[in-house]
Amino acid sequence: MLFDIFSAADEATEFEAAYARADAITRRNSQTFYLATGLLPRAARRAVRALYAFCRATDDLVDNSGATRADVERWRAAAAQPAAAQRDPVLLCWALTREQFGVEQRYQNELIDGVALDLGATRYATWPELERYCYLVASTVGLLAMPIIGLAPGVRPAEAAPYAITLGIALQLTNILRDVGEDAARGRVYLPQSDLARFNLTEADILLGGHDERFVALMRFEIARARELFVEALPGIALLSRAARPAVGAAALLYRAILNQIEAIDYRVHTQRASTTASQKLLMLPAVLWQVAALRSPRPSPAAPVGEPRWRCE
């Protein structure tokens, strides 16, 4: 019996260490997400940070030089294992979270599918193609988080999912616009080829860091698209549990502010990183929380927001 007590204590210590690791990863990699999730109750906060750490580790896997699809499939197989079989602290705390909250592995696999796309040619001919990529790498995160943060009484997951999907696409598009220069340095051009052609730009213009009236016009066009997606998505925050709304709303609105910063640096995303400081985020937070509190539920809602592709609502 004494052995069982010591074993249980060791296991609890291992679990706490795993969650502490996820917390540290979140804090190091995303000030915005770390600040926003600090508004969640403790159990949901550490669970969502475990999700973030899993997503971060998955993304980092393909950013490593020499990563292959075999590496991705090994990671997929490891991630699918139950908590009892995990030794990696990130996979351990994510498996514990998944089991505790009944998270579907379908969205976990779609996330891995999306990240694996970065191992191939990172080119997208049209907006619908890029939109699909954004769904895989970002909307899936919102769908994985929904069972953790919870929904308002009487709201079905199918009602909230389209808004979570649209918000994920808005966030990922914002991320792509901020990181145009970093991606170009890796030989990646995510902006749709059809959009480049619309403004008489080529892939080479993006890779070489050109900044002229054509590039500025393109960035204005894409920023307008991102803002429209945020407008479509934000009402869905009112479908979440009351405890979750401040955190999700803060994450969305603080991240949306990156679009303002891109404009503030005159769209020079090849040479400057558009971001807000920790102090700026804190100053923005009261107004952000007021905006979130003012959101009203979109119910009764259609099966999907206007213009929603059917695949995004399955």
Q: What is the pLDDT of residues 150-165, one digit of tens each?
A: 999 999 999 999 999 9
Q: Taking a C-beta distance cutoff of 8 angstroms, is the pair 202, 214 a contact? A: no
Name residue 151's beta-bridge partners.
240
pLDDT on residue 120: 83
Q: What is the pLDDT of residues 62-102, one digit of tens each?
A: 877 678 999 999 999 999 999 999 999 999 999 999 999 99
Q: How far apart are CA 266 and CA 73, in angstroms?
A: 41
Q: How far apart are CA 263 and CA 44, in angstroms?
A: 34
Residues 175-179, mean pLDDT to the nearest whole number: 97
pLDDT band at 281 (very low <50, low <70, confident <90, very high): confident
pLDDT on residue 285: 86
Q: Which two tokens stand for residue 76?
A: 């997929």
pLDDT on residue 28: 93
Q: Report the b/e string of 267-280 with b at 16+ CB within 10 A.
A: bbbbeeebebeeee
pLDDT on residue 212: 96
pLDDT on residue 190: 96
Q: How far apart are CA 78 and CA 283, in angstroms?
A: 41
Give CA 45 to chain center in angstroms.
16
CA distances to 73, 138, 186 from 70, in Å: 5, 22, 21
Residues 273-292, mean pLDDT to the nearest whole number: 87
Residues 270-285, mean pLDDT to the nearest whole number: 88
Identify the structural domains of the chain with CATH numbers, from first to last. Answer: 1-119 (no CATH), 121-314 (1.10.600.10)
Q: What is the pLDDT of residues 207-259, one digit of tens each?
A: 999 999 999 999 999 999 999 999 999 999 999 999 999 999 999 999 999 99
pLDDT band at 306 (very low <50, low <70, confident <90, very high): very low
Q: How far apart are CA 20 and CA 13, in angstroms?
A: 10
Q: How far apart are CA 40 and CA 206, in angstroms?
A: 39
- pLDDT above 90 for 56: yes
The answer for residues whose C-beta is within 8 angstroms of residue 305's C-beta and 6 or more apart is 162, 163, 166, 232, 233
Looking at the chain, the whole-number percentage of residues with pLDDT higher than 70 is 91
pLDDT on residue 8: 45
Q: How far apart are CA 168 and CA 145, in angstroms?
A: 11
pLDDT on residue 3: 47
CA distances to 60, 141, 203 from 56, in Å: 6, 11, 28
User: For all residues of the chain together, what is the average pLDDT?
Assistant: 90
- pLDDT above 50 for 298: yes
| 151 phi, psi to nearest 5 deg | -115, 160
Other Cβ atoms less than 10 A from the Cβ of 264: the count is 12
